[in-house]
Amino acid sequence: MNVRRVAITGLGMVSPAGLSVDENFQNLLQGKSYVDTITHFDPTDFKVKIAAEILNFDPTKYMPKPETDRMDRFAQLAVAAGTEAFQNANIEFTPEQEERFAVIVGTGIGGNQTFIDTCKVLDQQGPSRISPYFIPKLIGNMGAALLAIRYGAKGYTSDVVTACASGTNAIGDAFKRIHYGLEDFALAGGSEAPVTPISIGGFSVMRALSKRNDEPKKASRPFDKDRDGFVVGEGAGIMFLEEWEHAIQRGAHIYAEIVGYGATCDAYHITKPSPDARQQTRCMQLAIQEAGISSQTVTYINAHGTSTLANDVTETMAIKNLFGEQAYNIHIHSTKSMIGHTLGAAGGVEAIVAVKTLSTGKIHPTINLETPDPMCDLNYTPNTMVEDDIEYGLSNSFGFGGHNFSLLFKRGPA
């Protein structure tokens, strides 16, 4: 089969660390935590009172007020990040090209706040008072649908739901569609707005979250011995992907190339990773094999790195299983140490961070890594940004249900 190269020519991101890709990346390089006491709702009665929130997001900067009222926050964030990515790509389409334009935006839980608000209306006012916009605000495909409507994308448009791996899954699937000639262009990534009472309460009773309410800035601490769970964050990260030759011909700026995509399933447990790390290892291996390079060529990994006891150990084991002694020479970091775990958006956000890392050579720190864990003994870029010349890098995402996805990026041309 004649396969095609896939370029990344546009980036868009909103997170607790900023409202644009550049603002986010510069703030992450500073090693600052954006975790604090929850303000989106009153957390008084909750055991977990902390999260990483986007505090200054104004959706009306991206769309008229009547439109924002018909969207859940996760869709607003998707439109914001997708708008930046599309504008950053600086492209215009003919009607024929619109039919070769895909949009794939993943989310783990979709319109969470809309569900909560509508349940209150049903309970207090009855079914006749439910908004006619309830279903369109609730369903997870609206991030993709709204971007398709905005930019006239008439190709494959879909929502991917693979829990915390949704964003990486979406980018990988979009890559494959262009790679195999089914589309020529795509907006792809993830969006999530999970700082809601039901999400915080639900993850809390699972004992998945950090309870460092008195030290929120210290709560997210991937790979540290004293980690006690992840911190919920919100955000969106979306890329514009394009067939390589088209990008070259129009003189587009190419941030990076997607050269490999791995996807596996643990088939083990609904929430726990398989302790043998075999399928996480194979996931990264598949991405590297597709690129046709040696594993020794990979010198950087944006880790899933959740700050949970099991995940951090298992991911470390997977890296060592695949890379052997080379594992100790790889630059590894966790973006979640600063902006928390953005669930379905994490893969999109972290893929963008990985691409910016390759293009700048600047590797943001994993903060709060203070006490070494004998089970996590690799180079996680502790607490201070470093610089290096990186050509190939992986971005990993592993979701509840055992979903494993890895993207392999190659630095774009000078």
Active-site positions read 164, 304, 341
Distances (CA, A) of 67 to 63, 75, 104, 141: 6, 11, 21, 16
Q: Computed over its alpha carbons, how large is the radius of gyration of the chain?
A: 20
Residues 81, 107: Cα–Cα separation, whole Å: 14
Q: Which amino acid is at 311?
A: N
Q: Under 8 Å CB-to-CB from 277, ≥6 apart: which residues? A: 314, 315, 317, 318, 321
- How many other C-beta atoms can be found within 10 angstroms of the C-beta atom of residue 36? 17
Q: What is the DSSP letter of 62?
A: T
Question: Under a CB-based contact definition with an 8 Å cutoff, are residues 4 and 244 in contact?
Answer: yes
3-state secondary structure 156-199: CEECCCCHHHHHHHHHHHHHHHHHCCCCCEEEEEEEECCCCHHH
Residues 277, 163: Cα–Cα separation, whole Å: 18
Angle at 385 between CA 379 and CA 390, to 5 degrees: 70
